[in-house]
């Protein structure tokens, strides 16, 4: 368990499946996710059960007020020899979006990735229309290093996706 000022990153629990199903079947929540499709309980349970076998994926529940689930964050596709991983986050509870919880969760996740997992590079992809997330990532030190042109189709239009990353040395410089 990782504790910040207002946010706790905790292991996922099976009891969270209902909340995740609610959020991941809500188009307002999924519009900013890289991949989305309607999910069934069986699909979500299969995904949850598969986590124990995925050594390169680390996923946390994001909690506030000790036990209120508001989303999740992860470092996935970890290449241990190269010391790189890809992070992702979503705040599914719409009432809790825009309150800084995502920023705090990302800081905790990066601290864990760099200081505990000893990663050297953490990257992410973000849709170019997700300005709130882009500002958050820039604020905590991510740098845009590429653009995948017209790689996302939402609401009848193509959009670019940004590739952003942060290196351990950059994180350390911002968080001595």
Structural domain including 62 reads 2-174
pLDDT band for position 44 (cuts 50, 70, 90): confident
Please give the average per-residue pLDDT across 165-174, as a whole number: 97
3-state secondary structure of 46: helix
pTM to 2 decimal places: 0.92
Q: What is the number of structural domains in the chain?
A: 1
pLDDT in tens, 85-124: 999 999 999 999 999 999 999 999 999 999 999 999 999 9
Distance CA 90, CA 98 (A): 12
Nearest to 87 by CA among 64, 113, 66, 65: 113
Range from 18-27, 44-53, 108-117 carrying the lowest mean pLDDT: 44-53
Question: From the CB of residue 126, how many other CB atoms can be counted at a distance below 10 Å?
Answer: 23
């Amino acid at each position: 368990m990782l504790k910040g000022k207002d946010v706790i990153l905790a292991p996922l629990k099976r009891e969270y499946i209902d909340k995740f199903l609610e959020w991941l079947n809500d188009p307002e929540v999924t519009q900013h996710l890289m991949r989305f499709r309607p999910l069934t309980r069986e699909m979500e349970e299969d995904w949850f059960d598969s986590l124990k076998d995925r050594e390169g994926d680390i996923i946390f529940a994001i909690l506030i007020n000790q036990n209120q689930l508001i989303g999740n964050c992860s470092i996935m596709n970890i290449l241990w020899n190269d010391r790189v991983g890809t992070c992702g986050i979503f705040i599914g509870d719409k009432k809790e979006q825009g309150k800084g919880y995502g920023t705090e969760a990302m800081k905790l996740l990066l601290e864990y990735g760099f200081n505990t997992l000893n990663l050297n590079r953490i990257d992410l992809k973000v849709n170019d229309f997700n300005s709130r997330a882009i500002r958050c990532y820039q604020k905590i030190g991510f740098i845009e290093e590429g653009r995948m042109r017209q790689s996302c189709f939402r609401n009848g239009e193509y959009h670019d996706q940004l590739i952003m990353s942060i290196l351990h040395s950059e994180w350390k410089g911002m968080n001595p």
